[in-house]
Amino acid sequence: MTIQSISGKANTTAVSTKPVNTGKAKSESSKTTNNSKDNVDFTAVAKEITKAFGSSKNTNAINNERVQAVKDALAEGSYPINAEKIAQKMIQIEKEQFNNSR
């Protein structure tokens, strides 16, 4: 198996899928696994992410008042449309997609 490392050099460490015989009896290894406990520690960043997800569940993702205001303005013909700004954004998106596909 070849794993590309961060440094760009290939790591060609062989990984065996067969269990390794350590010479210990099964009863000894089962004793150690029964006595050990699994622990999970969350970092401060993970706690903040969890908190953010919790608070986002309580807020509406769509501002219905704003949506209705835009619909009304479009229907009345009073919504300002800047064609040049839209064209610039479209060109920017195309350039980003081109650069990302290379």
In tens, the pLDDT along 43-83 reads 888 888 888 888 777 777 788 999 999 999 999 999 998 99
Residue 38 vs residue 77, higher pLDDT: 77
Residue 59 within any structural domain of the chain: yes
Residue 88 within any structural domain of the chain: no
Residue 27 within any structural domain of the chain: no
Looking at the chain, which runs of residues are DSSP E strands?
Answer: 3-4, 10-11
60 lies in which domain range? Answer: 43-79
Residue 19 within any structural domain of the chain: no
Residue 13 within any structural domain of the chain: no
Structural domain count, the chain: 1
Residue 15 within any structural domain of the chain: no
pTM for the structure as a whole = 0.34
The dihedral over CA atoms of 64, 67, 68, 72, expressed in degrees to the nearest 10, equals 170
What are the helix (H) ranges across 21-63?
Answer: 26-35, 44-57
pLDDT at 89 over 90: yes
The pLDDT score that the predictor gives to residue 59 is 75
Residue 57 vs residue 27, higher pLDDT: 57
Residue 3's pLDDT band (cuts 50, 70, 90): low
- What is the DSSP code (8-state) at residue 20? P
Residue 66 within any structural domain of the chain: yes
CA 41 – CA 44 distance, rounded (Å) = 10
Residue 30 within any structural domain of the chain: no
pLDDT at 5 over 80: no
